[in-house]
Amino acid sequence: MASRVPAVSEVVEEARRLFEQNFGSRPEVEVCAPGRVNLIGEHTDYNDGFVLPMALALVTVVVGTRDAGRSVTIVTANEDVAEPRRVEFQMPNDGSPLSPGQPGWANYVRGVVQHYRASPLPGFKAVIASTVPLGGGLSSSASLEVAMYTFLQQLQPDDGDPVAKAVACQQAEHTHAGVPCGIMDQLVAVLGRKAHALLIDCRSMEVTPVPLSDPSLVILITNSNVRHSLTGSEYPTRRKQCMEAASVLGKGSLRDATLEELEGARGRMDEVTYSRARHVIQEIQRTVRGSEALKRGSYQEFGKLMVESHNSLRDLYEVSCRELDELVLAALEVDGVFGSRMTGGGFGGCTVTLLQAHAVDRAILHMKTTGRYATGLLLAGSSGAVPRAEGGHRRRPQG
């Protein structure tokens, strides 16, 4: 009953067809990078905390070839983006910055070109196709950034450092998309492992794989179809509030703060800033506890932490919405569900539910009959960004 996820080969074939239609030849380079779902650890990455995401079978594909000159032409297959769907610009040749422009979706490409870690970059022609829903909280932006960076690596190899690659993609989002995001999305898009979540220390960039191969366990992602945007004021405001709380506490980040210290300083900050900080401090603790629970197979414990996380995001961090709250409530009414929560930056997007395999159809049916169901995706873990060799076979990325 869950929605079918198109195979990567199907997405590549769609991109090939569009490339041939636009450029009259077959692409020479084909790469892909996954979206992600965050199991727990929301709004902790830009506070130097811990997160627990996993890569998805939803991917962004980039196919293309180098151009003899300095021109760049990009075509997107996504019909939901702002027009135009074909963009052209010149590759800087004097060290000057590549400024953001219109349409907005192409700024992710411009940003990655600007922050790419090897030179000189040639001009190129490329087509982008993706199955990661825009504004769904599954990191369509990082998926695009990492796919584009991987594409550029095939044209002009860099040193192959995967963490530096993720950081460059994060910088692209900061400077050209205007989103002061943390490092989680880019890291998991680069380093994701099949059938594993990744416990990421967003301060040290240390990544610890957490197995998720139990056949009785299922992760259900449900799209509220409320499309969120992180480029408005709310996301930067949350980050600023966290910085203010850390400053009052005399800390470099909320990663170093304790609940006891926060309570002691409560009178020196307003209640909203206090609530934001309380969520982050507790969410960091929940994420560490959650990763240990998954390692032990303690799914009931992990599910309880998921619900606590959602309630905190709803009440303390105030980034949920009615549709997300209803989807979580509907999931929790089904026997066999361990836990459910919103995932991603909030203000719309998706929920993630941990449940027993035998309960999947029942959970989806219940969501449908209550009128609160949008789109269910039954997804296993995917691997990180990879180039695709001739014939559509994957090669393991270096690093």
Report residue 389's pLDDT band, with 50, 70 and 90 as the boundaries.
very low
pLDDT in tens, 28-87: 999 999 999 999 999 999 999 999 999 998 899 999 999 988 899 999 998 877 678 899
Question: Closest Cα partner for 27 from 41, 39, 12?
Answer: 12
With 0-12 / 13-18 / 19 or more C-beta atoms within 10 angstroms meaning exposed / middle / buried, residue 380 is middle
Q: How many CB atoms lie within 10 A of CB 221?
A: 25
Per annotation, catalytic residue among 80, 158, 159, 185: 185
Active site (annotated) includes residue 185: yes
Give yes or no for residue 291 having a pLDDT over 80: yes
Give yes or no for residue 292 having a pLDDT over 50: yes
Report residue 372's pLDDT band, with 50, 70 and 90 as the boundaries.
low
pLDDT in tens, 234-254: 888 999 999 999 999 999 999
Of the segments 13-22, 127-136, 178-187, 319-328, which one has the largest average pLDDT value?
A: 13-22
pLDDT in tens, 89-99: 998 877 788 88
State the sign of the Cα–Cα–Cα–Cα dihedral 79, 82, 86, 89. Answer: negative
Whose tokens are 């195979």? That residue is 7
Q: Could you tell me the two tokens for 70?
A: 């300095």
Question: Closest Cα partner for 135 from 324, 342, 346, 309?
Answer: 346
- Its pTM stands at 0.89
Q: Could you tell me the two tokens for 210?
A: 């957490």
Mean pLDDT of 94-114: 90
Quote the pLDDT of residue 6: 82
State the sign of the Cα–Cα–Cα–Cα dihedral 111, 112, 118, 122. Answer: negative
pLDDT in tens, 141-193: 999 999 999 999 999 999 999 999 999 999 999 999 988 888 999 999 999 99
Do 366 and 13 form a contact (C-beta atoms < 8 A)?
no
Question: Closest Cα partner for 209 from 196, 195, 219?
Answer: 196
d(CA 339, CA 219): 10
> Bigger pLDDT: 137 or 304?
304
* Percent of the chain at pLDDT exceeding 70: 90
Whose tokens are 């930056």? That residue is 345
Question: Closest Cα partner for 152 from 118, 180, 177, 127?
Answer: 118
3-state secondary structure 291-320: HHHHHHCCHHHHHHHHHHHHHHHHHCCCCC
d(CA 105, CA 18): 18
Q: How many CB atoms lie within 10 A of CB 112?
A: 26
Quote the pLDDT of residue 149: 98
Q: Could you tell me the two tokens for 32?
A: 């892909």
Contacts 24+ apart (CB under 8 A), 388-391: 388/8, 388/12, 388/30, 388/31, 388/32
What mean pLDDT, rounded, does the chain reach? 89
Question: Closest Cα partner for 120 from 145, 95, 98?
Answer: 95
First and final CA of the chain: distance in angstroms? 38
Give 3-state DSSP helix, strand, coil % of the chain, rounded to 5: 40, 25, 35
Task: Kindly report the length of the chain.
Answer: 399
DSSP-assigned letter for residue 394 = B
d(CA 122, CA 232): 34
Give yes or no for residue 392 having a pLDDT over 70: no
Whose tokens are 């219940």? That residue is 366
Q: Could you tell me the two tokens for 293?
A: 């629970």
Report residue 227's pLDDT band, with 50, 70 and 90 as the boundaries.
confident
Question: Closest Cα partner for 170 from 160, 180, 162?
Answer: 180
Strands (E), 105-183: 123-130
> Bigger pLDDT: 378 or 196?
196
Report residue 390's pLDDT band, with 50, 70 and 90 as the boundaries.
very low
